[in-house]
Amino acid sequence: MEVKTFKYRNKEEEAYRILKKRVNQYFKDRGITKFANTQVIVKAILIVLIFIGSYALIMSNHFSPLMMLLLAIVFGIASLMLGFNIGHDAAHNAFSSNRRVNNFLTSTVYAIGSSPYVWKIRHNLNHHANSNIPEYDWTAYAHKKILTGNSNKIISKLSHYPHIYTPFLYSFYFIFLTFYKDFEIFYTNKIGDAYHFKPNLTEQILFPASKLIYITFIFILPMLFLSVTWWQVIIGYLIMHMVGGFIFALVAIPPHMTEDAVFPTVNDEGYLNHSRFTHNLDTTTDFARKSVVVNWIFGGFNTHVIHHLFPNICHVHYIALSQILKDTAEEYGFNYKETSLWGAALSHYNFLKKMGQTTISNDSTYTENLQTSKN
């Protein structure tokens, strides 16, 4: 694998070293591990049961088309929660101390149309290592193309109104990943110019096979055995994923794209003019940090800063650890950003609106119209 890399100009701060000590001490004092506890395991079982149960009820063909649509939405939300709470933690080796268990649980993303191989490259290797760096982080790069109108002529004409069209596009996020982005990454063997890789023979077999199996369960079997038309199956799938995709976007995108978003750039020497600790504080915002319900449903995505700093720790610990992070950051004079669930959604909307109010013609202008990281 070839990787386009950069370095942090500044050395690790004392605050980050102290934070790591305090996090380790947290687990030591309580005699617990950083992995999933009984609560998370029970939740994972419940999610899987809802996921399988809702699909089984649909395929029983004992319900009206409207009820099957409602069950499809439940199935879609269960798929979302499966990815948030099981696949995501397992892909970071944060669910269990046993890597075989983590690998097995990561494979649950096959059930939602994804690929563990592509997931780890797209999310773990690319996004986590390069968050909000447009030249490296594919999510930041994709947003830049949409917001600046550089993706195509149609988007270019609409580029002054991203707060109107972008939320609509978010509804198709999962469909975009499942049927386009996964294929692009896998068969071009790269993510932009940052990562170049070659899947082994096993992955070359598993990827298309898993996609075919997913299509079989999601489209072919319902079309064959349900008393609905083929177009009703497709509409049901679209509605299911539009709901799931929109919810996902509301949770996963705002942490990196609020009004005070920072999109640092790598200089000509290959450096970012700050440290890893500062980078994650600058580029990430927490929301509803103390909410047990939000943490439970979305697998800790709302406490995103601590996740980026300690991705190998299970999300069940994030509420407590985020308080340690906040206290440490404030003690050493760093800016820890947090807001409410509504505040995050509103700030992201205002971010989109702000980008539409400025005529943007090139990469440098895009960056200038956002806050840049501290030197």
Encode pLDDT of 308-349 as tens digits: 999 999 999 999 999 999 999 999 999 999 999 999 999 998
Residues 6+ apart with CB under 8 A from 125: 3, 195
Lowest mean pLDDT among 65-69, 160-164, 371-375: 371-375
Q: Please measure the distance between the N-terminal and C-terminal CA atoms of the chain and give it in whole angstroms.
A: 31
Strand order in the sheet with 190-191: 2-3, 195-196, 190-191
The mean-pLDDT minimum among 13-22, 46-55, 130-139, 363-372 falls in 363-372
The answer to whether 358 touches 40, Cβ cutoff 8 Å, is no
Q: Report the helix count and the strand count for the chain, using DSSP H and E.
A: 20, 7
> Do the beta carbons of residue 121 and residue 89 sit within 8 Å?
no
Least confident piece of the model among 219-223, 325-329, 370-374: 370-374
CB of 285 within 8 A of CB of 131?
no
Contact at 8 Å (CB) between 125 and 116?
no
Which has the closest alpha carbon to 297: 34, 96, 43? 43
Helix (H, G, I), strand (E, B) or coil at 339: strand
Is pLDDT at 153 greater than 80 in this prediction? no
What pTM was computed for the model?
0.89
> Given this model, what pLDDT does residue 158 score?
57
- Highest-confidence range of 38-47, 188-197, 273-282, by mean pLDDT? 38-47
Contacts (Cβ under 8 Å, ≥6 apart) of 201: none
Main-chain dihedrals φ then ψ at residue 196, nearest 5 degrees: -130, 125
Between the CA of residue 43 and those of 15, 79, 82, 86, 296, what are the distances in Å? 34, 13, 10, 9, 8
User: Do 36 and 97 meet the contact criterion of CB atoms below 8 Å apart?
Assistant: no
Q: Are 126 and 91 in contact (CB under 8 A)?
A: no
Q: What burial class does residue 318 get, using C-beta atoms within 10 Å of its C-beta: 0-12 exposed, 13-18 middle, 19+ buried?
A: buried
Amino acid letter, 319: I
H or E segment and range at residue 8: strand 7-8
